[in-house]
Homo-oligomer: A and B are copies of this chain.
Amino acid sequence: MRLWLRLLTCANLIEAGIRRRLRAQFGITLPRFDLMAQLDRMAEGISLGELSRRMMVTNGNVTTIVDALVAQGLVARTPAPADRRTVLVRLTPEGRRHFRAMAMAYEGWIVDIFADLNPFEIDRLMALLGKAKESAAQALDDP
């Protein structure tokens, strides 16, 4: 029980800090940044459904965030060639430029945030969180 509270506290603390910096330094919100991060690796564009799966949020949520980013000219919607139901989303050249600049700063923040952990501790934490994730996924699957 205390483990869960600490996990949540830790994640929320870092998330709040990153959110604050993204807003202060780049005027962007965290979910928009996260969505752009997914798109940065997919030059050809990916579907909204695939986006929502990767980001682990609902379809409707992705639609809203993409709407906002399209309005800002940072991403573009294009119909999928094969399937008329699906819509592909990709970064615009301007969106890519913006994202690259932000991503550089972002990585620096993360390094700073975990600066007090040595490589061994990071590996161990990765492994334990991986195991916790598996355990949780299994427990939450059935009901």
Residues of A within 8 A of B (CB): 1-4, 6-17, 21, 56, 107, 109-117, 121-122, 124-126, 128-140, 143
A110 contacts which chain B residues (CB < 8 A)?
1, 3-4
The interface residues of chain B lying within 8 Å CB-to-CB of A9 are 56, 133
Q: Besides the contacts A8-B11, A117-B135, what 17 more A-B pairs have beta carbons closer than 8 Å?
A: A1-B111, A2-B126, A3-B110, A3-B122, A4-B114, A6-B129, A7-B11, A10-B132, A10-B133, A10-B136, A14-B136, A14-B140, A16-B56, A17-B139, A115-B139, A125-B125, A125-B128
- B135:A125 contact, CB within 8 angstroms: no
Distance, CA A124 to CA B128, complexed state (A) = 8
> Nearest B residue to A137 by beta-carbon distance?
B13
A140's nearest neighbour on chain B, judged by CB, is B17
Q: Among A15, A124, A136, which residue has the most Cβ atoms of chain B within 10 A?
A: A136
